[in-house]
Amino acid sequence: MLNKIFWPFLLLFIFIQQAGAQLPDFTEMVEKNGGAIVNISSTHNTADKNGSQIQQLPEGLPPEMEELFKHFNQGPNGDLVPRNSKSLGSGFILSSDGYILTNHHVVNEAQEIVVKLSDRRELIAKLIGSDPSTDIAVLKIAADNLPAVTIGDPNKLKVGEWVLAIGSPFGFDQSVTAGIVSAKGRSLPGGNYVPFIQTDVAINPGNSGGPLFNMEGKVVGINSQIYSQSGGYMGLSFAIPVDVVMHVVDQIKTKGKVSRGWLGVQIQDVTRELAESFGMSRPHGALVAKVIPDSPAEKAGLQIGDIIVEFNGHIIETSGELPPMVGMTPIDQDAEVKYIRQGEKKSSPIKIGLLPESEQLAANTAAPKISNRLGLTVTNMNDEQRDQMQVSKNGVLVQKVGKGPGLDAGIQSGDVILRIQDSAIKDVADFDKIVKNLPAGKSIALLIQRRGSPVFLALKLEK
């Protein structure tokens, strides 16, 4: 009877021991790298519109509370005293001579940056340079013989692989969290030049700028963003791959600024409907919605409607994969671009240009012509309107969207219809003629311009 009770417990104990033995042990990695992780606090002065450094009063305060609140911003003689706000973040020591990496948003517009080392020393840091586009900042402190991290290769990371983060969530120094790589090459809003590493590592406010380690104890990324509806960890964390980081760091240290490669196209994803309209067997690649005049792309002969499927030997599955590749390509270097044009695969060398400063684009209105077949009210535009919307001689303005295929395709009032399939739209008469002859039951590629940006939509007329 005793054996019948004993053996099941013994087998369960052995199973638990074996399962535990398969889990990673991070203790050695933390002991080795913990000393290279720093806490960063940056001080910001809150200035009023007259330049006085004073915190703004909350609206709706009772008179007695308002008077009390004011005293916190006044010196003994009634003069204004700066009220400082602090932001906390993490960082790590890149080299023993005091270079430190963190996020741009941790130190942006800081009046003072304080770096707290693992040995509890606090040193004032100098901002060497930062890059808002990749959210990377390089700092320098006056110290020597510091423990530094080892840089790894994020391209060797595999989805499902264990990774570890060390940082200061909510100001708690040297906090360690672990998880796995959930995905690679993620595109996020505002992250055009970063193919993010997605993990389920617990990252919270204060972890920003801290390192992401692989199982070899090497840094493969900088923890930068979380996706959260509550402001806290929800299992979706994003890190900047360290190869992107080092490309930026090298430029900041040598040139003081970051230069990026430029093709001169605006692109979008290829949806299932658009793939059908272009005769593709499956959706993939980056669809060219606009070619910038006098750009490297225009000089190489790229056209609206081309679908870029390969860049310098790298397959392009989604449009978000292309900008980081182009951005990291050296200026004036030739890149081999493969693309699909009207069902035919083509290839062309393109000399990469220097990304110019981005310009703000605009859009506006005018008087109507109804196309009952699409349910759209469209109008011609005058020269002033074309200048405002930065469109050339082609295009008609959508005044109203009624029930029909146009609404189903996602066309909105204020859109400019530039092209239907391979035909450029010159004016309303041209639009009517082309729409009249559109085939039913087939996906049609429609190029519009919306708020200054070109976008392809897929439209289908019912049989």
Catalytic residue among 41, 105, 247, 371: 105
Helix (H, G, I), strand (E, B) or coil at 165: strand
In whole angstroms, give the CA distance from residue 305 to residue 424.
Answer: 11
Q: In sequence order, what are the residues at sequence separation of 6 or more whose Cβ sits closer than 8 angstroms to the Cβ of residue 368? A: 377, 378, 379, 399, 400
92-to-115, 150, 227 alpha-carbon distances in Å: 10, 11, 23
C-beta atoms surrounding 298 within 10 Å? 15
Active site residue 133: no
In whole angstroms, give the CA distance from residue 453 to residue 195.
Answer: 22
Active site residue 105: yes
Helix (H, G, I), strand (E, B) or coil at 207: coil
Residue 426 dihedral angles phi and psi, to the nearest 5°: -85, -45
335-to-110, 163, 312, 317, 322 alpha-carbon distances in Å: 39, 33, 6, 18, 12
In whole angstroms, give the CA distance from residue 288 to residue 445.
Answer: 12
Q: Residue 7 is inside which H or E element, if any?
A: helix 2-22
The upper half-sphere exposure of residue 456, i.e. CA atoms within 13 Å in the direction of its Cβ, equals 30
In whole angstroms, give the CA distance from residue 89 to residue 205.
Answer: 7
Active site residue 104: no
End-to-end CA distance of the chain: 78
β-strand pairing of 162-167 with 211-213: antiparallel
In whole angstroms, give the CA distance from residue 339 to residue 219.
Answer: 35
Ramachandran bin of 7, using left for φ above 0, alpha for ψ from -120 to 50, beta for the remaining angles: alpha
β-strand pairing of 84-93 with 122-124: unpaired
92 residue type, one letter: F
Catalytic residue among 131, 135, 306, 415: 135
Look up residue 375 and give its two tokens: 């349910």
In whole angstroms, give the CA distance from residue 173 to residue 179.
Answer: 19
Q: Which residues does the annotation mark as catalytic?
A: 105, 135, 208
